[in-house]
């Protein structure tokens, strides 16, 4: 029994009569990386919130930490039991220093010396040296750090609070491939020192790199716990989605037509420069590169959110000078943004309103919105996209990430775009939802829609696109055709200054 640092027995959770978790039994060993997998809506986040003290389990559920039954009234209770959580949405105070953030959970130990910033800096410096990140200085303001560096500060905060168990929720979803590799090295080092890690990720390759054991949830139930070495990728995906997915990255090959968009030496001063490429009807054109390559900024320029300062853009042979997103939309260009929650959807509105908002004017008469027609459009798109929900007027923030992404894409479909700009199309969604998004993209390409897709997922970029342009720090480094590109060749261009 001493080998288990955390035990969960019969953990269930019900919200408004809906069973989100049912009878979860799980044991975590000291010094292991335990991956927790499942589709969006499988119950992973709820289970993490129960372990971290954010939610209480239903009656009958037992949490045992270090052999003792515990009850968490709030997250502070979990921290006192040496359980620390690093959420996907980081919880650092941006206007405080690295040192102040790191010691914030140890304030009770510093009574009478709260202004001893020298001690704070020493503690922070020791933590960063332990994590082999000495370039992150104690006096740096957190807001000036990259997302990857902020992740390291969160980990330093956990180990300074003497965490025996660290829960990591999608820690690599918003950082570059190189930063992700560095983070995985830190995770391995923590494991070697006896820290137990619960690791949530939709990136299957990371699981096979880092995990010792894997637990899969599906529809609120625990499917199985297995040694990572005893399970294949295909078996793992089947456990997650409840069916076999023979092709994780389906590519529908369709004939391409005329050039619909051409960029000729386009620059945006201080952002990117000298970008030239062309995209044809039915083509999926990928844009690769690391964080900071200015790929999103390029899409924003095409969509009229920022202005080009030199070079020319051509739309179906005519010069194209978008002064605003309205110009782009008027020219049948759609933009599914990287952050669906902030810039893609209105999270407090019902699903059908989000789906019909682009065409709200067409569904209006004399300036009055025809809500019945908007609802009809929403329900039609829900059916066409197989969006899983209870009802059309369900608030969108209650949907899983994959279904939210379908809505973010679906709101443009009735507008019948000719060019679709798609920024990180599958970030933060599960394997099953990813495959559905790829199939929708293939269907759009078959209809003649030209798709320009920015992606940091190299297997996705290589498998789904017809051509790939790689950028590095605002400069175009090359274009490769389908079949020529490999992960190594893309990374080589992406790191070539």
pLDDT (tens digit per residue) in 130-140: 888 889 999 99
**pTM exceeding the 0.95 threshold for the entire prediction:** no
User: Residue 249's pLDDT is what?
Assistant: 83
Q: Burial, 15: exposed, middle or buried (Cβ in 10 Å; 0-12, 13-18, 19+)?
A: exposed
**Beta bridge partners of residue 86, listed in sequence order:** 168
Report whether 271 contacts 305 (CB < 8 A). Answer: no
User: Residue 415's pLDDT is what?
Assistant: 84
Please calculate the CA angle 442-445-450 and round it to the nearest 5 degrees: 135
Q: How many residues does the chain have?
A: 497
pLDDT per residue rounded down to tens, the chain (497 residues): 468 999 999 999 998 777 889 999 999 999 999 999 987 778 888 999 999 999 999 988 999 999 899 999 999 999 999 999 988 777 889 899 999 999 886 655 555 445 567 888 899 899 998 888 889 999 999 999 888 888 899 999 998 888 999 999 888 877 777 788 888 999 999 999 999 999 998 888 889 999 999 999 988 899 999 999 999 888 888 888 776 666 778 888 899 999 999 999 999 999 999 999 999 999 999 999 987 789 999 999 999 999 999 999 999 999 999 999 999 999 999 999 988 888 889 999 999 888 888 876 555 555 566 778 888 888 888 988 888 888 888 999 888 788 888 999 989 988 889 999 999 988 877 777 888 899 999 999 999 999 999 998 888 899 999 999 999 989 999 999 988 888 888 888 887 75
- Mind listing the domains of the chain with CATH numbers? 4-241 (3.40.50.300), 259-494 (3.40.50.300)
DSSP state, residue 175: S
Find the helix or strand (DSSP H, E) in which 129 lies. Answer: helix 117-130
Residue 97's nearest CA partner among 137, 65, 47 is: 137
List, for residues 233-265, the tens digit of each pLDDT value: 888 888 887 766 667 788 888 999 999 999 999
Report whether 42 contacts 222 (CB < 8 A). Answer: no
List, for residues 87-138, the tens digit of each pLDDT value: 877 788 989 999 999 988 665 555 544 556 788 889 989 999 888 888 999 9
Half-sphere exposure of 460 (CA within 13 A, CB side): 24
- Alpha-carbon Rg for the chain in angstroms: 24
Q: What is the 3-state secondary structure (H, E, C) of 441-464?
A: HHHHHHCCCEEEEECCCHHHHHHH
């Amino acid at each position: 029994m001493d080998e288990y640092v955390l035990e969960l027995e019969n953990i269930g959770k019900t919200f408004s009569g809906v069973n989100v978790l049912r009878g979860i039994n799980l044991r975590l060993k000291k010094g292991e990386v335990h991956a927790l997998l499942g589709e969006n809506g499988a119950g992973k986040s709820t289970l993490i919130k129960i372990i971290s003290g954010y939610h209480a389990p239903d009656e009958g559920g037992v949490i045992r930490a270090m052999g003792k039954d515990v009850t968490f009234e709030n997250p502070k209770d979990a921290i006192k039991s040496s359980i620390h959580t690093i959420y996907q949405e980081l919880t650092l105070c941006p206007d405080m220093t690295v040192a102040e953030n790191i010691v914030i959970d140890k304030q009770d130990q510093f009574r009478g010396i709260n202004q001893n910033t020298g001690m704070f800096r020493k503690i922070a410096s020791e933590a960063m040296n332990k994590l082999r990140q000495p370039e992150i200085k104690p006096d740096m303001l957190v807001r000036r750090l990259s997302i990857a560096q902020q992740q390291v500060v969160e980990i330093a905060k956990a180990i300074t609070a003497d965490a025996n168990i660290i829960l990591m929720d999608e820690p690599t979803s918003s950082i570059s491939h190189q930063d992700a590799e560095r983070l995985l090295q830190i995770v391995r080092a923590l494991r070697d020192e006896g820290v137990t890690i619960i690791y949530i990720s939709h990136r299957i390759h990371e699981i096979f790199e880092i995990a010792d054991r894997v637990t899969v949830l599906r529809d609120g139930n625990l499917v199985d716990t297995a040694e990572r070495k005893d399970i294949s990728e295909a078996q793992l995906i089947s456990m997650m989605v409840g069916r076999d997915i023979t092709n994780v990255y389906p590519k529908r090959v369709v004939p391409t037509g005329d050039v619909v968009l051409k960029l000729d030496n386009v620059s945006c001063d201080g952002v990117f420069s000298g970008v030239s490429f062309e995209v044809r009807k039915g083509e999926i054109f990928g844009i690769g590169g690391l964080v900071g390559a200015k790929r999103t900024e390029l899409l924003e320029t095409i969509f009229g959110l920022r202005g080009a300062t030199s070079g020319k853009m051509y739309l179906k042979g005519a010069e194209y000078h978008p002064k605003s997103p309205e110009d782009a939309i008027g020219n049948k260009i759609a933009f599914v943004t990287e952050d669906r929650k902030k810039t893609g959807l209105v999270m407090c509105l019902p699903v059908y309103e989000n789906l019909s908002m682009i065409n709200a004017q067409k569904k209006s008469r004399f300036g009055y919105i025809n809500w019945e027609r908007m609802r009809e459009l929403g329900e039609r798109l829900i059916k066409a996209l197989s969006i899983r929900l209870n009802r059309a007027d369900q608030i969108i923030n209650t949907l899983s990430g994959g279904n939210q992404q379908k809505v973010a894409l679906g709101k443009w479909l009735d507008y019948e775009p000719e060019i679709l700009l798609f920024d990180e199309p599958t970030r933060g969604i599960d394997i099953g939802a990813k495959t559905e998004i790829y199939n929708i993209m293939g269907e759009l390409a078959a209809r003649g829609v030209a798709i320009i897709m920015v992606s940091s997922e190299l297997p996705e970029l290589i498998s789904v696109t017809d051509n790939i342009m790689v950028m590095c720090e605002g400069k175009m480094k090359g274009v490769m055709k389908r079949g020529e590109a490999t992960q190594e060749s893309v990374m080589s261009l992406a790191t070539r200054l």
